[in-house]
Structure 1
Amino acid sequence: MLSLSDFQRIGVGLVGFGLFFILFGILLYFDAVLLAFGNILFLSGMVFIIGIRRTFSFFFQRPKLKGTSFFFGGVIVVLMRWPVLGMLLEAYGFITLFRSFFPVAFGFLASLANIPLLSQLAQKTGESSSMV
């Protein structure tokens, strides 16, 4: 089992609450306050889990600058109370940032349970994935 420090446990809680507030904000027709609060909790939880230096180095790698700029631009737009546009920018930035992680995650999920649709999707994404 994975051993977590106290700061990492706090970070997991912050990320969980952040995702909850983001989901709740979307369900309440893009409530800007809930989305902004969720974004702040999610980002602070990331810092608690992996540390300031590793978070900074993850977001500001040269190949990931486009995704980072869209993600943080979306956070700023949500904070300026334009939630729909901000969430669209954030979603594009998130997909761009974690593009190389999706085939690994789908492969892991397919190995956990032999779900026919999920395993077929994992095989198709695993074949066409490129490490860019």
Structure 2
Amino acid sequence: MKKKKNDKFAVACAFEILHKCISIDHIEDCNEICKSLESYDELSKECLKNNDLSDEFLKDVQRYIDNYILPILEEDYWDFIKKEEYGKVNDKGFFEINSEESAEKICLEFMGNSLNLAKELLNVFSKYLK
């Protein structure tokens, strides 16, 4: 059996798809994340058929998806920014921010989270894009 080699174009396409899931523009949109994950599944199946991606790559990427992207889809994922110092949950269950300063701090935490997810994604992909 021929050993699978990681096609750089396929790796780059996979990176682009998964980066969309964690970008600041899409990280809160569960529908967009699910669409991107479906696109990644289609790409990985096609690449498996064509022998374009190694099992090691696919396992590393799946581990990233399981540990970093799928938790975003959980209802309580964003609870870390709902700190008492930033506001409170109202009677209708919505978080009300108590000040402009709190809103700025929440934005910084939000962006920091997205950047940390991107850093981890780069860590996974960097060895396959050499």
Superposition TM-score tier, normalisation by shorter sequence: 0.3 to 0.5
TM normalised by structure 1 equals 0.39
Structure with the bigger RCO (C-alpha within 8 Å, sep 6+) is 2
Which structure has greater strand proportion? 2
Which structure has greater helix proportion? 1
Which is higher, the Rg of structure 1 or of structure 2?
A: 2
